[in-house]
Amino acid sequence: MGVRSRQIVPTLFAVLLLAVGSVASARMMAPDEDTIMRAEVAALGLYRISIAQDEASVLAVI
């Protein structure tokens, strides 16, 4: 029983470390709000030049 209890603690620590690392990795790879906004603007077919020339386009996109 003593050997089994000594194996459980490092195993639980390894599982916890893997879970925390996975969450941190997913958070770092997730797109930020600026990237999402640029993708939405690109999906609408607008470009930076057209947005810069027409202020109403900017208000319509935002």
Read off the pLDDT of residues 6-36 as tens digits, 9 standing for 90 and up.
889 999 999 999 999 999 999 999 988 888 8
The single-letter code of the amino acid at 1 is M
Read off the pLDDT of residues 52-62 as tens digits, 9 standing for 90 and up.
555 555 455 55
Quote the pTM value: 0.51
Instruction: Say which residue, 10 or 41, is predicted with more confidence.
Output: 10
Please name the residue that has the structure tokens 């208000």: 59
Q: What is the dihedral of CA 24, 29, 33, 35, to 10 degrees?
A: 170
Q: Band of the pLDDT at 40, cuts 50, 70, 90?
A: confident
d(CA 42, CA 27): 24
Mean pLDDT of 32-47: 80
Q: DSSP secondary structure string, 19-60?
A: HHHHHHHHHHHS--HHHHHHHHHHHTT--HHHHHH-HHHHHH
Name the token pair of 22: 């996975």
